[in-house]
Chains A and B, each alone.
Chain A
Amino acid sequence: MKKAIVATLVLAMAFTMAGCGSKKKGAESTASSVAAAAESEAAAAVSEAQETAASTASTAQAAVADAASEIEAAATDAVSTAQAAVADTASTVEAVAADAASTVEAVVADTTSAIEDIAADTASVVEEVPDEVISGAEGALAAIGAAAADAAETAADDLMSTADSIASAVIVEDMEGAASIAEEAESGAEGLLNVMSYEEYVAAPVDTPVMVETYVQAKQAWFEKDGQGKATIYTQDEDGAYFIYEMACSEEDYNALTEGQKIIVSGYKGEWAGEVEIVDATFEIADGNLVAEAEDVTALLGKDELGEYMNRKVAFKGLTVEAAETADSGVESVAETVDAPAFTYGWDGSGQEGDDLYFKASYEGQTYTFVVESYLCDSSSDVYKAVKELKAGDKIDLEGFLYWYEGAQPHITSVTAAA
């Protein structure tokens, strides 16, 4: 557009010059002085036009610079809200401003060059031009200068306006989305989470993202839910344990997981009925193997400190089997009915073969409930069969995982006669 304006001006001048050429030459005697005067006037006009153009260009550049400055200032504000977002904004605005300045400079340079060419052409022919033509030339030059200045100014204004609106749009958009971007940045940062230590995991609030390196200790269950494979597993590292609930896992991957296998788990920390767990998790296999030793926590039974061992592989030693209790009949003395089982299917006896087994055992006069969780150890497992053989008064050692449901609810994986 700007180049078209300049080209039009050049054509108009050429046309004017061609018209002039068709006129009859004036008196030789005055020609020299007139030409000199005309040359002087033309030079002055050209000089003025050049100054005007330069001034306009300078103004435009200053305006662009001011705009860039304002935009940068706005971008700086945005940076305080969301650094990453504002960095993009500033970069974008600077690029727009640079483009605008570059374009304005190019237009001004083109205009100036055209005017200089016209002036040179004028000087070369002016000697043959009569007064009236000189006068016309002066007017034309003045018009050209003014037109050039207008063109440059208009071009600069257009570019500034465009740059300003682009920059404003970018800033407004960024300011509106600043919080969102900040949240996304935070969310993105979650994706860049580093692997946590157990201490960091314990300190992490519920509902925050967590990532741990841990080792499979037992697989509780796999099933398909809404078309997606879900695995629930007990894991542990050197410092503590992590219960991974319904982690995304194909059946093939689940079958490939073995005791001790190191995995990296990413998910959210959750707490359900007191059980601290990792939910909505994904995992990847890592190199490493660790099979935890069951830690003897018998002395912590009934104490708050037992909670520190939540989900770990633990052992209870020297317990005494107590009579089974049902919701209907209350405590039944198994000692009096020797063959009566010391367990119930389900917490109150409402289940049947294949369901969870509940049994009670005492230590130092206090009775505690233990569970053979049927997904973790089904009815074909040794522990399931062994518990069904228990009688009140038996002395036993237990191993299992310290699950939590409104208090300790150990999921037992092994029962043996007390050593």
Chain B
Amino acid sequence: MKKALIPVLFAAAAALILTGCHGSRKQKDFEIPASFDTEVPREITFWAKNDTNKTQTGIYEKAIKDFEKIYPNINVTLRLYTDYGKIYNDVITNISTNTTPNVCITYPDHIATYKTGEHVVVMLDDLIRDGKFGLGGSEVLFESPAADQVVPEYLNECLLDGHYYALPYMRSTEACYINRDYVEQLGYQVPDILTWDFIWEVSEAAAEKDKSGNYKLNGQKVMIPFIYKSTDNMMIQMLKQRNAGYSDENGAIGIFNDTTKELLYTIAEHTKSGAFSTFKISSYPANFLNAGQCVFAIDSTAGSTWMGSGAPLSDISADKIVQFETEVRPVPQFDPDSPKMISQGPSVCIFNKEDPGDVLASWLFAQYLLTDGVQMAYAETEGYVPVTLTARNSESYQDYLSARGTDAEHYSVKIDATQMLLDNTSNTFTTPVFNGSASLRDAAGQMIESTAKSVRRKEKVNDAYMEKLFTDVTSLYRLDQLAKGEGEDNGKQVLGPLPAASKALLAVLCAAWILIILYVGIQAISRKKAG
């Protein structure tokens, strides 16, 4: 009687303890199901970003349609955005109500914020290498690329805290689109690698006016020799090229340094002379470039179909477009022998759900976005590059690159921008990702915008101004709250000593295991004696 009760009591106690632990979680961590039932209907949502480009939305729609043919039980609903920031805001809003999308185009900076919620974003380490459903897995019903066929630099950009939380989808960088005719009119030649000194010198020359107030270079009342679309990238790349502080992986902010001040003084100087402006202050770089009102326009390679006289897309009327030769170069450098440029572009993350089957369906769709057909089709809509080696090395893609300039689909500026990135993949970099890195990025750009705006408003830009700017930006973006402080470590909260209840629970847990082991031992000895 006594013997019979012991195992029952042990088992009940252990089960109670272990079940109690499991039930304490708000949302279960995702575990890969052993199988995927293609008969069970699945509804998943896909929040995607396009560049206000009908072809891109068409590619998403086609990808969904093709995927649904392979997995008829999975229905994918597309929601389109044209702005990463809006996706980010909507996801944040929906996390609190547990109504996040299943699959979402995003940036690692944003994922860092999403994953502050417990088990909100699915960690992909196991999924990527799973033999059945992983990249190139045996039970995936389409030809998916293996993990080693994803460009390593791009896959590594999806690492957060040492784990994969996204797959790269497309990659781009920034390019400098140049009115070569204007550069030569000013007595210069476009070098292979632009330097900042060259850009400023030519821009100053282009800012000269005649007696009637028209610019000598174009005879117009409007001329912005050098215009930058994304000033956060501008500051980030300048600091990287100067090997100056920005931030580290732990979230320590290093951007408020003397090099930053020096760069801002330079930008102020050229803003004052009228040689420089920004998208936020003036308008899209392409509009000025194509109207003959700009010499150097820096924008994403993913905006290349808008750049140049023959651009397939344009926001200005045809009668305003000026004919000129467009050159494409990497962004200006401080050290032309060691070029550095930002790597950007969308990635895909998966949000956790109660039903692991839904998560697996989401993963399969995300994986489908890496197939050659989707990768090449989407990349070719703009100056993107595919993120898989299989797509990059395919004959079809090589043919596409070779057909440069033959028609609108092979617009020369777009392919030049693409080729420039392909040639410089090893020269790209990303900034450290942590909860708050998106705010730091905004702050980097804001310092340029504020400085330029202040100069235009004839405010004095001096050391006192810089100090105030640093303080204001720190406050506006709450950067002082990101710094490692008391109770925090590596951006994560240190919870302090375990509460007494937790200690007691752990003690009971240990005791349960000890009793289980003892019981098993006693049983074994008893069997041995009986035998």
Taking beta carbons and an 8 Å cutoff, which residues of A are in contact with B? 180, 183, 186-187, 207-209, 226-227, 268, 270, 272-274, 280, 326-328, 346-352, 355, 405-407
How far, in angstroms, from A132 to B375 measured CA to CA in the complex? 121
Asked whether any CB of chain A lies closer than 8 Å to the CB of B98, the reply is no
Q: Are B457 and A207 in contact (CB under 8 A)?
A: yes
Q: Would you list 18 pairs from A and B whose C-beta atoms are within 8 A, ordered by A residue?
A: A183-B459, A183-B460, A186-B458, A187-B459, A208-B457, A226-B442, A272-B282, A273-B282, A273-B315, A327-B54, A327-B313, A328-B58, A346-B54, A346-B82, A349-B54, A350-B50, A351-B82, A406-B287
For residue B52, which residues in chain A have a CB less than 8 angstroms away from its CB?
Answer: 346-348, 350-351
How far, in angstroms, from A51 to B315 measured CA to CA in the complex? 91
Asked whether any CB of chain A lies closer than 8 Å to the CB of B241, the reply is no
For residue B477, which residues in chain A have a CB less than 8 angstroms away from its CB?
Answer: 226
Residue of A nearest to B476 (CB): A226
Q: Are B282 and A406 in contact (CB under 8 A)?
A: no
Q: Are B57 and A350 in contact (CB under 8 A)?
A: yes
Asked whether any CB of chain A lies closer than 8 Å to the CB of B73, the reply is no
| B interface secondary structure, majority | loop
For residue B212, which residues in chain A have a CB less than 8 angstroms away from its CB?
Answer: none
Which of B56, B442, B453, B460 sits near A180, CB closer than 8 Å? B460
Given A352-B80, A405-B315: A207 and B456 within 8 A (CB)?
yes
Residue of A nearest to B457 (CB): A207
How far, in angstroms, from A349 to B58 measured CA to CA in the complex? 10
Asked whether any CB of chain A lies closer than 8 Å to the CB of B316, the reply is yes
Q: Which residues from 235 to 293 on chain B have a C-beta closer than 8 Å to any C-beta of chain A?
A: 281-284, 287
How far, in angstroms, from A407 to B429 measured CA to CA in the complex? 39
Nearest-Cβ distance from residue A354 to partner chain B, whole angstroms: 9
Asked whether any CB of chain A lies closer than 8 Å to the CB of B393, the reply is no
Complex A-B, nearest 5 residue pairs according to Cβ-Cβ distance, in ascending order: A273-B283, A350-B54, A207-B456, A348-B54, A327-B54
For residue B313, which residues in chain A have a CB less than 8 angstroms away from its CB?
Answer: 327
How far, in angstroms, from A328 to B409 measured CA to CA in the complex? 12
How far, in angstroms, from A232 to B313 measured CA to CA in the complex? 28
Q: Are B287 and A273 in contact (CB under 8 A)?
A: yes
How far, in angstroms, from A321 to B38 measured CA to CA in the complex? 48
How far, in angstroms, from A270 to B313 measured CA to CA in the complex? 26
Task: Count contacts between A and B, CB distance < 8 Å.
Answer: 70
How far, in angstroms, from A16 to B425 measured CA to CA in the complex? 100
For residue A268, which residues in chain B have a CB less than 8 angstroms away from its CB?
Answer: 457
Chain B positions 78 through 118: 1 when the CB is less than 8 Å from some CB of chain A, otherwise 0: 11101000000000000000000000000000000000000
Chain B positions 306 through 333: 1 when the CB is less than 8 Å from some CB of chain A, otherwise 0: 0000000101110010000000000000
How far, in angstroms, from A180 to B282 measured CA to CA in the complex? 28
Which of A183, A326, A346, A350 sits near B458, CB closer than 8 Å? A183
Residue of A nearest to B446 (CB): A226
For residue A355, which residues in chain B have a CB less than 8 angstroms away from its CB?
Answer: 80
Asked whether any CB of chain A lies closer than 8 Å to the CB of B396, the reply is no
Q: Are A406 and B476 in contact (CB under 8 A)?
A: no
Nearest-Cβ distance from residue A280 to partner chain B, whole angstroms: 8
Residue of A nearest to B288 (CB): A273
Asked whether any CB of chain A lies closer than 8 Å to the CB of B394, the reply is no
Given A227-B476, A328-B58, A406-B315: A272 and B53 within 8 A (CB)?
no
Asked whether any CB of chain A lies closer than 8 Å to the CB of B55, the reply is yes
How far, in angstroms, from A183 to B458 measured CA to CA in the complex? 8
How far, in angstroms, from A227 to B475 measured CA to CA in the complex? 10
Q: Are B80 and A350 in contact (CB under 8 A)?
A: yes
Q: Are A328 and B54 in contact (CB under 8 A)?
A: yes
Which of A186, A227, A326 sits near B54, CB closer than 8 Å? A326
Given A268-B457, A350-B80: A406 and B317 within 8 A (CB)?
yes
Q: Which residues from 388 to 414 on chain B have a C-beta closer than 8 Å to any C-beta of chain A?
A: none
Nearest-Cβ distance from residue A223 to partner chain B, whole angstroms: 9
Given contacts A183-B460, A347-B52, A355-B80, 15 further A-B contacts (CB under 8 A): A187-B459, A207-B456, A208-B457, A226-B442, A227-B476, A268-B457, A270-B281, A273-B284, A326-B54, A327-B53, A327-B55, A328-B55, A348-B53, A406-B287, A406-B315
Q: Are A272 and B283 in contact (CB under 8 A)?
A: yes
Nearest-Cβ distance from residue B245 to partner chain A, whole angstroms: 23
Residue of A nearest to B51 (CB): A350
How far, in angstroms, from A358 to B475 measured CA to CA in the complex? 40
For residue A406, which residues in chain B have a CB less than 8 angstroms away from its CB?
Answer: 283, 287, 315-317, 320
Residue of B nearest to A224 (CB): B89
Given A327-B54, A328-B58, A351-B80: A407 and B317 within 8 A (CB)?
yes
For residue B476, which residues in chain A have a CB less than 8 angstroms away from its CB?
Answer: 226-227
How far, in angstroms, from A418 to B316 measured CA to CA in the complex? 30
How far, in angstroms, from A355 to B478 measured CA to CA in the complex? 32
How far, in angstroms, from A60 to B466 measured CA to CA in the complex? 47
Nearest-Cβ distance from residue A256 to partner chain B, whole angstroms: 24
Nearest-Cβ distance from residue A178 to partner chain B, whole angstroms: 12
Nearest-Cβ distance from residue A277 to partner chain B, whole angstroms: 12
For residue B317, which residues in chain A have a CB less than 8 angstroms away from its CB?
Answer: 406-407
How far, in angstroms, from A187 to B458 measured CA to CA in the complex? 9
For residue B80, which residues in chain A have a CB less than 8 angstroms away from its CB?
Answer: 350-352, 355
Nearest-Cβ distance from residue A230 to partner chain B, whole angstroms: 13
* Residue from A208, A273, A280 whose CB has the most chain B CB atoms within 10 Å: A273
How far, in angstroms, from A331 to B79 measured CA to CA in the complex? 26
For residue A350, which residues in chain B have a CB less than 8 angstroms away from its CB?
Answer: 50, 52-54, 56-57, 80, 82
